[in-house]
Amino acid sequence: MLFFHDDRHRLHFPQAELDGGQFVTPYERPSRVEYVLRRLQETGMRAAAPGALDMGPVRAVHAPDYLEFLATCWADWVASGARGEIIATSFPVRRMRQKPPRNIDGKVGYYSLAAETAITAGTWEAAQASCALAQSAQRAVAAGERAAFALCRPPGHHAASDLFGGYCFLNNAAVAAQMFRDDGAGRVAVLDIDFHHGNGTQDIFHRRGDVFFASIHGAPEDAFPYFLGYADETGEGAGEGANLNLPLPPGTPFGPWAEALDAALAAIRDFGAEALVVSLGTDAFKDDPISFFKLESADFAEAGRRIAGAGLPTVFVMEGGYAIEAVGINAVNVLQGFEEAA
């Protein structure tokens, strides 16, 4: 399978993540990519050079003021006299006004959904380079490849039209799905197998009937992002029926997880999708430090085989996975399983 990567992911490496009341080294760290890259090379996957970022499809899924915020927040933060990394501390919660303030500290809270995700000097450049990988993979598939893999970092599925957080800034999967639409596919599906609910992708397409979103994830009662991802979120307006959430409880092993996967794939088939984007997180793995499913490494290959059974042109976009040394094996197992069955 063709894959795309870009060393500029290293420009995003905050020192700090607020976790359990302490600042720790972020779980979402550059070495994740090195492990995946090594495994891609070991298994003979083909590296291809990524193209430049096209802001057109990015603007189609993200709000202009949010993109302006991402481009300027670091300079504004430094100019305000702040000495550390950007971390949100004030949020427009229940009964407060949903209006971006002038002050940069307030703006950071306005545009974020959680406080674990720090922004540094290089974050915006890394996020753009990451998104360009999803675009490159989409272009390869649009040009006739059966599938391609974008080794995106930072990830994207928590990023909504105007929100960052959960380690995400630009919604790489949503951008790839939008590009399939722009290329003429009438209906596109996003399948999110990351352990965490893809709240950003769901939100971006919630009122649209042209992009189906299906997600298998830790139930919101028990898992981040906590405030979206319930089974009764089925889409709204033109998007009614085009959203499928399959939340699962702590300790879920491959059996019930794979039943959910089959249900998601059946729904994608019934929807009539002509192209598929897979949000490929590997944090459903049993040893993931921040997740609670119990998949084995071999299960990821079986997941890939089942995804290939949908018979669709497929773009795989890297999302989460924090059992660092296993991230490469697990991610590439999905790709190898897919290739075996394709």
Cβ atoms of 292 and 221 closer than 8 Å? no
For ligand OKP, the binding residues in 26-85 under the rule CB under 6 A are: none
Cα(86)–Cα(38) distance, integer angstroms: 31
For residue 129, the SS3 value is: helix
Cα(232)–Cα(298) distance, integer angstroms: 31
For Zn ion, the binding residues in 184-243 under the rule CB under 5 A are: 194-196
9 is catalytic: no
- Residue whose CB is less far from ligand OKP, 104 or 246: 246
Query: What length does the chain have?
Result: 342
Helix and strand element counts for the chain (H, E): 10, 10
Cβ of residue 79: shortest distance to ligand OKP, in angstroms?
29
Q: Which positions from 178 to 197 touch ligand OKP by CB under 6 A, shown as an x/- string? A: ----------------x-x-
Q: Which residues contact 100 (CB under 8 A, 6 or more apart)?
A: 65, 69, 106, 107, 110, 111
For Zn ion, the binding residues in 306-335 under the rule CB under 5 A are: 320
Cβ of residue 114: shortest distance to ligand OKP, in angstroms?
6
Considering only 6, 116, 210, 233, the residue that binds ligand OKP (CB under 6 A) is 116
- Residue whose CB is less far from Zn ion, 283 or 299: 283
Cβ atoms of 4 and 149 closer than 8 Å? yes
Point out the residue whose Cβ comes nearest to ligand OKP.
320
For Zn ion, the binding residues in 154-183 under the rule CB under 5 A are: none
Binding flag, residue 288, ligand OKP (CB under 6 A): no
Cα(187)–Cα(181) distance, integer angstroms: 7
Cα(335)–Cα(1) distance, integer angstroms: 7
Considering only 50, 239, 281, 313, the residue that binds Zn ion (CB under 5 A) is 281
Binding flag, residue 155, ligand OKP (CB under 6 A): yes
Active site residues: 158
Residues in the site for ligand OKP, rule: CB under 6 A?
A: 19, 116, 155, 158, 166-167, 194, 196, 224, 281, 283, 290, 319-320
